[in-house]
Amino acid sequence: MKKTALRASLALIAPLALTPLAATAEGTLSLYNWGDYINPAVLNKFTEETGIEVTLDTYGSNEEMLAKIQAGATGYDIVFPSVHMHDIMYQLGLLAKTDIGSAAGFENIDPQFVRAKTDPDAEYCLPYAWGNVGIVYNKELAGGITGWEDFFALGKEGKKITLLDDLRETIGVGLIMGGNSVNSTDPAEVEAAADYIVSNLDGVTAFTYDSVPQVISGDVAAAHWYVGANLFVSENPETIGYIIPKEGATMYQEDICVLESAPNKENAIKFMEFYLQPEIAALNVEQQMNGTPNIPAQELIPAEIVSNETIYPDQETMGKLQIFEDLGRDLQLYNSEWTRIKTAQ
Amino acid sequence: MKLARRKVLQLIGLLGAPSVFLLVFFCGPLLTMLVYSFLTPGIYGGVDWVFSHLNYGRILGWADTRYEKFDPVFLGIFLRSLRLAGLTVVTSLLVSYPAAFWISRMSPGRRDFAIFLVTLPFFVSLIVRLFAWVLILRPTGFLNQGLMGIGITSDPIEFLYSDFAVILGMTYVFIPFMFLPLYGSIEKLDIAQLEASSDLGATRVQTFWKVVLPATMPGIIGGSIITFIPSLGNFIVPSVLGGAKVLMIGNLIEQQFLSARNWPFGSALAMMVMAAVLLLLVVQLRLARRGDA
C-alpha cells in the first residue's frame, strides 16, 4: 500500500461533488479507501457522468478498516481491502454479491489478478490496483544497489537504512532471503527469518513509513518502501531511484468491494462498472503510478509509466513477487518474533 | 430524618450524573478490558469466549504453547517504559520549576500572556509538532546544521531515533501538564515566609530546602503524576521520534490491537500498565497522608 508522509490516520472527508445540490437527485455514493489511493479526478468524472455525489473517507490499514466495519460503522458503500482482507471479509459475510465478473467490460481485466480464493469468479469484488514493495535509495549513497543483500550491506558499512514498521513486510524480507514463502506458518522458518533481520539490524535506524523525504535529503541511504516511490523518483530523478530487489519482493493488490450493509448498492455497482472503462483506470494510474489489472488501460497510460520496469515488471520478475495471504491464528507466530526484532539492538 | 432524606436526594441529584458518566465511560471499558484479558483471541480480531490465563503467562512466566510463549522481552519493555516515563518526569520538572517561578514573579499582564504561551502548543496537532521535531533532529536537520555551522561538531550527531529523542519529545509534549500544577502551588507561595526565613538567618539554599520545597511539594507531586501516567502509555512519540525502535509498552499494546489482531494480549498488557499506575497512586496517597500527620 502506498502510505503518505503523515500516514492516513488523519481521516479526511472530501466532498467531491461539483454541484452538490443538483447531484443529490441522483443519490450518493460513499467510499472508504486508503489515504491518497485514488485520483480525485476519477471521482469528479464519475459525478460529472452520473450526477451521483461521492464522499470519501480514508483509513491507514486493513485492520483499521475491518475493525470499524465490524464495530458496526454503517453508511459506507465501497471499501478497498487487500486480497487477503477481501477473503476475510467474505468469510465474515461483510461483502455484497455484485456479479461484476459477468458485467460488460470485465474482459478488460487480466485474469491473473482475480486472486481472492473465496471469490474465484469475481462475483463480489473487482481487482483495483497492485504494486510491489521494494527499495527506494539515494543514488549518491547507495548507487548500484540491486537487492536485499546490498541493502543490508549498506548498514554494515555504517550507512543508514530503514525498514517498514509492518510485521508481515519486514519478516517477509527475512523469509524471502531464506528462500521461504512469505506466508510460512512453520515456526522454525519464521524464527529463522526474524534471526536474519536481527543479525542485519546494524544501520537500521528506524522502522517507519516516513522514509522517502529522508532518502531524498540523504539522511538515509536506502529504505524499504512501496512502488509509489516512483512518484518521488519522477520528481527527483537525479537524487533517488527505486528497485525491485533481485532476490524477490512482496506485492500487494487491493480490490473494490461493495459492503453488505451498503446503503447505495446500485450506485456502488455503477461505480464498479464505471471503473472497468480503460480510460478511467488509466486516469487513475496517471496520478497513482501503480499497476492496473485493466489490460487495454495500459495502452492509454503515459509511456514513461508503462515502460517503467519497477511498475510493470516482466513476467520473470512477476514470478518473484509474493502476495500475502491471511494466516489466521498463525499470525501470532509473527507477532512474537516482531517484538523480538524491535527490541533487539 | 426528613432533612437527612433531603440531603440524600440532593446528593443523588448532584452526584448522579457524573457517577453514571464514570460508570459507563470509565468503568465500563475498563471492565471490558479486564474480561478480555482472560479470553482467547479471535482469528480476525475480537475475542473467543474461552477462558485463558496465558495472556498473563506470556508476560509473567508460565505460558509455553505454539502461540503463547513466555518471553522476558515483555517485562523488559515494561521496565524501559517506566524508566523513560520517569526520566520524562524529571526533565519536565527541571524545566518547569524555574519557569513557573519566573512567570509567577511577572506583572499580571505579562504573566497571563506567558501562561497562554505555555498552553499554545495545544492549538496545533500533536502529529504535526512531532514531525517538526523530526526536521529539527535529523542528521541534516536544523540542529545538526547549526552545531556544524558553529564548529561544535564536524559530523552530524545521532539525535533522531534514540532514547534521547523520545525523552525530549515527551518532555516537550507534557511540559504544560507539569507546569500548570506547579505554577498553582508556586504562585500561592507567601513572600512573607521567605522574608521571615531570611530574617531568621537562613541562607538562600536553606530557605529553598526548608520553606520553598515543602510548600510547593503538592504541585511537584501532582505535576509528576499527571506527567508520568500519559508518558507511560504514550505510543506516538516513540513511534515518530524513536523510529518505532524505542519500543514502549503503548506501542506494544497498539500493535496487539491493530496489526497483530490479539486483543486479549493487548488487554492483559494494558492491565499491567493500570496496575503500575494504581500502585503509584497508592504509594503517593500513603506519602501524602504521612506528610499530613
Q: For residue B226, give the CATH number of its domain.
A: 1.10.3720.10
| Residue B7 pLDDT level (bands cut at 50, 70, 90) | confident
The count of structural domains within chain B is 1
Is residue A120 scored above 60 in pLDDT? yes
Structural domain containing residue B247 = 74-261
A14-130+252-312 with A131-250+317-343: one CATH topology? yes
What pLDDT, on a 0 to 100 scale, did the predictor assign at position A134?
Answer: 96
- The phi and psi torsions of B69 (rounded to 5 degrees) equal -120, 140
Q: Do B157 and B144 touch, CB atoms closer than 8 A? A: yes
What is the CATH superfamily name and number for domain A14-130+252-312? Periplasmic binding protein-like II (3.40.190.10)
B117 within a domain of the structure (yes/no): yes
Highest average pLDDT, of B120-129, B170-179, B189-198, B251-260, comes from B170-179
Q: Where are the domains of chain A?
A: 14-130+252-312, 131-250+317-343
ipTM rounded to 2 decimals: 0.81
B64 within a domain of the structure (yes/no): no
- The phi and psi torsions of B85 (rounded to 5 degrees) equal -65, -40
Is residue A18 scored above 50 in pLDDT? no
Nearest to B183 by CA among B282, B280, B278, B117: B117
- B73 shares contact with chain A (CB less than 8 Å): yes
Mean local confidence (pLDDT), B175-198: 91
Name chain A contacts of B67, Cβ cutoff 8 Å: 329, 332-333, 336
Average of per-residue pLDDT values in chain A: 89
Is residue A10 scored above 80 in pLDDT? no
What pLDDT, on a 0 to 100 scale, did the predictor assign at position A20?
Answer: 42
**CA A145 and chain centroid, separation:** 23
Nearest residue on chain B to A221, alpha-carbon basis: B139
B119 within a domain of the structure (yes/no): yes
Nearest residue on chain A to B128, alpha-carbon basis: A6
DSSP string, B236-292: HHHHHHSTTTS--HHHHHHHHHTTT--HHHHHHHHHHHHHHHHHHHHHHHHHHHHHH
CATH 3.40.190.10 fits A131-250+317-343, yes or no: yes
Supply the Cα-derived Rg of chain B in whole angstroms. 24
| Residue that the C-alpha cell 552545531 belongs to | B147
What pLDDT, on a 0 to 100 scale, did the predictor assign at position B69?
Answer: 83
Q: Please tell me the distance in Å from B81's CA to the nearest CA on chain A.
A: 12
- A307 shares contact with chain B (CB less than 8 Å): no
Nearest residue on chain A to B40, alpha-carbon basis: A329
Nearest residue on chain A to B65, alpha-carbon basis: A333
Q: What does the pLDDT look like over A149-186, one tens digit per residue?
A: 999 999 999 999 999 988 999 999 999 999 999 999 99
Q: What does the pLDDT look like over A206-265, one tens digit per residue?
A: 998 889 999 999 999 999 999 989 989 999 999 999 999 999 999 999 999 999 999 999
What pLDDT, on a 0 to 100 scale, did the predictor assign at position A345?
Answer: 67
3-state secondary structure B151-195: CCCCCCCCCCCCHHHHHHHHHHHHHHHHHHHHHHHHHCCCHHHHH
CA distance A14 to A54: 9
Is residue A7 scored above 50 in pLDDT? no
- A345 shares contact with chain B (CB less than 8 Å): yes
Task: Say if the Cβ atoms of A340 and B73 lie within 8 Å.
Answer: yes
CA distance A35 to B250: 24
- Of the candidates A10, A205, A219, the beta carbon closest to that of B140 is on A219
What pLDDT, on a 0 to 100 scale, did the predictor assign at position A16?
Answer: 39
What pLDDT, on a 0 to 100 scale, did the predictor assign at position A25?
Answer: 54
Mean local confidence (pLDDT), A303-312: 91
CA distance B202 to B208: 9
Q: What does the pLDDT look like over A73-83, one tens digit per residue?
A: 889 999 999 99
Name chain A contacts of B66, Cβ cutoff 8 Å: 187, 333
pTM listed for this prediction: 0.83
Task: Say if the Cβ atoms of A217 and B140 lie within 8 Å.
Answer: yes
Is residue A17 scored above 80 in pLDDT? no
| Residue B171 pLDDT level (bands cut at 50, 70, 90) | very high
* Coil vs helix vs strand at B201: coil
- Of the candidates B73, B134, B245, the beta carbon closest to that of A339 is on B73
A-to-B residue pairs, Cβ atoms closer than 8 angstroms: 101
Could you say which residues from 165 to 194 on chain A have a Cβ atom under 8 Å away from some Cβ of chain B? 165-168, 187
| Residue B288 pLDDT level (bands cut at 50, 70, 90) | confident
- B239 shares contact with chain A (CB less than 8 Å): yes
Q: What does the pLDDT look like over B20-63, one tens digit per residue?
A: 998 899 899 999 999 999 999 988 878 899 999 999 999 998 88
Task: Say if the Cβ atoms of A339 and B247 lie within 8 Å.
Answer: yes
Task: Say if the Cβ atoms of B243 and A206 lie within 8 Å.
Answer: yes
First-to-last CA distance in chain B? 35
Nearest to B292 by CA among B238, B235, B221: B221
| Residue B292 pLDDT level (bands cut at 50, 70, 90) | low
Is residue B178 scored above 50 in pLDDT? yes
Share of chain A above pLDDT 70, in %: 92
